[in-house]
Amino acid sequence: MSDKPILEVRDLKMHFPVKEGILLRTNKFNKAVDGISLTIHRGETLGLVGESGCGKSTLGRCITRLYQPTSGSIYFEGQDITHLKGNALLPFRKDIQMIFQDPMESLNARHTVGDILEEPFIVQKIGDRISRKKQVLKLLDTVGLPARSTSRYPFEFSGGQRQRIGIARSIALNPKLVICDEPVSALDVSIQSQILNLLIDLQKEFNLSYLFIAHDLAVVKHISDRIAIMYLGKVVESAAGETIYRKPLHPYTRSLISAIPVPDPHRKVKRQVISGDVPSPIDPPSGCPFHPRCPQVMDRCKHEPPQLRSVADKHLVSCHLDL
C-alpha cells in the first residue's frame, strides 16, 4: 500500500435544503453528511458502517460526484475534484465507479447485458464495436457469468447474477476506486459470501481500492482493512478492522458489535441494546448526537459536541468518556 492516499475527503458536508410552507422556503437543512474526513489508500478497503439514514450512501454519492457537496473537499490522487464539472469530470468517472445495492434499479431493464456492459466503453469513446464485444465477453468471464449472457436481459437473472453484472459494469473501465454501496444487503446470505469473495478476488487482481458501505458490521468484517463507524452524518470511531472488533470504544460501536450473531450456542454474549431510532438529521440532538440513546450518557454530553480524537495509533473516537 502506498503512503499517499488515492482518496482524501476533508471536512465534507452535504446539507440538503428542506422546503417548507406554501412558499416552499428553505429554513432547515437535512445534514446528511456533516463534516466527514477520511482517506483510502491504493488496494485498501475502508468499511463504512452505520444504521439506515446515517448518511453513508450520501457520502458515497458525493465522492462519485453524483451529488455536489455543500462544502469540504474531495481529493483523488492528490487532485481536488470537488468542483469539477462536465468534461473535466469525465476521466474521474472512469477511475471512480460505484456498485449499487439493488442492481435491478441500476441496470437498464430494456437493454441486454451485452449493451449494458458495452455502454461504459461507448461513453468514454474506447475501441470499436468488435474490440468492445471482446471486452464484454472478458468482463463476463471475470465475474463468472457465461458468454451467452450477452443476449439476455437483467430480469432473466437471479439477484446474485444481477449483482455480478453490476460488478462487471463497475470494473469495465479499469477503475482505481470502487464505491460499494451495500452491494450484498439485498442478497440471500448464501449468495452474499460468493459476491464478497468475488470482490476480494477482483481487488487482488486489479489492485482496487474499495469504500465498502454496509449497515451490518458482520458483512464488512472479512473485506475491510479499516472500518469507520458513522452516526447521524459524522464518523464516531475509526480504526483497523481487527481493532474495531476486538476493542470497540465508542458506545455506539460497542452496541453494533454486541449485535453480531455468535455461531457458538454455548458462548454467552452480553448484548448492549440501544433504544430508539436514529434522530432526524434535520433536527439533530444538541451536544453529542448519540446522547439520547447512549447508555453511558453524562450531563456534559447533552450540550458539548465531542471531537473526533486519537486514542491510540490510527484509532479515532468521538466521545467524552475517558477512553
Nearer to ligand SF4, 41 or 234 (CB): 234
Instruction: Give bridge partners of residue 73 from the DSSP assignment.
Output: 10
Grouping H, G, I as helix, E, B as strand and the rest as coil, residue 141 is helix
194 binds ligand SF4 (CB under 6 A): no
Min. distance of Cβ 252 from ligand SF4 in angstroms?
A: 6
Instruction: Give bridge partners of residue 34 from the DSSP assignment.
Output: 13
Min. distance of Cβ 220 from ligand SF4 in angstroms?
A: 21
Grouping H, G, I as helix, E, B as strand and the rest as coil, residue 99 is strand
321 binds ligand SF4 (CB under 6 A): yes
Nearer to ligand SF4, 127 or 279 (CB): 279
The rounded distance, in Å, linking the Cα atoms of 47 and 80 is 23
**Residues in region 274-313 near ligand SF4 by CB under 6 A:** 288, 290-291, 294, 296-298, 301, 306
Min. distance of Cβ 233 from ligand SF4 in angstroms?
A: 15
Q: How many CA atoms lie within 13 A of 124 on its CB side?
A: 19
Q: Encode 178-234 in three state secondary structure.
A: EEEECCCCCCCHHHHHHHHHHHHHHHHHHCCEEEEEECCHHHHCCCCCEEEEEECCE
CA distances from 71 to 49, 74, 83, 84, 287 (A): 22, 10, 10, 14, 22
Min. distance of Cβ 319 from ligand SF4 in angstroms?
A: 3
Nearer to ligand SF4, 258 or 296 (CB): 296
> Which of the 8 DSSP states describes residue 295?
T
Nearer to ligand SF4, 215 or 291 (CB): 291
Nearer to ligand SF4, 10 or 254 (CB): 254
**Residues in region 237-256 near ligand SF4 by CB under 6 A:** 250-251
Nearer to ligand SF4, 146 or 295 (CB): 295
CA distances from 264 to 37, 247, 257, 268 (A): 37, 20, 16, 9
Min. distance of Cβ 277 from ligand SF4 in angstroms?
A: 16
Min. distance of Cβ 298 from ligand SF4 in angstroms?
A: 6
The rounded distance, in Å, linking the Cα atoms of 124 and 90 is 8
Min. distance of Cβ 318 from ligand SF4 in angstroms?
A: 7
The rounded distance, in Å, linking the Cα atoms of 320 and 323 is 8
229 binds ligand SF4 (CB under 6 A): no
Residues touching ligand SF4, count (CB under 6 A): 14
Nearer to ligand SF4, 120 or 281 (CB): 281
Which residues contact ligand SF4 by CB under 6 A?
Answer: 250-251, 288, 290-291, 294, 296-298, 301, 306, 319-321
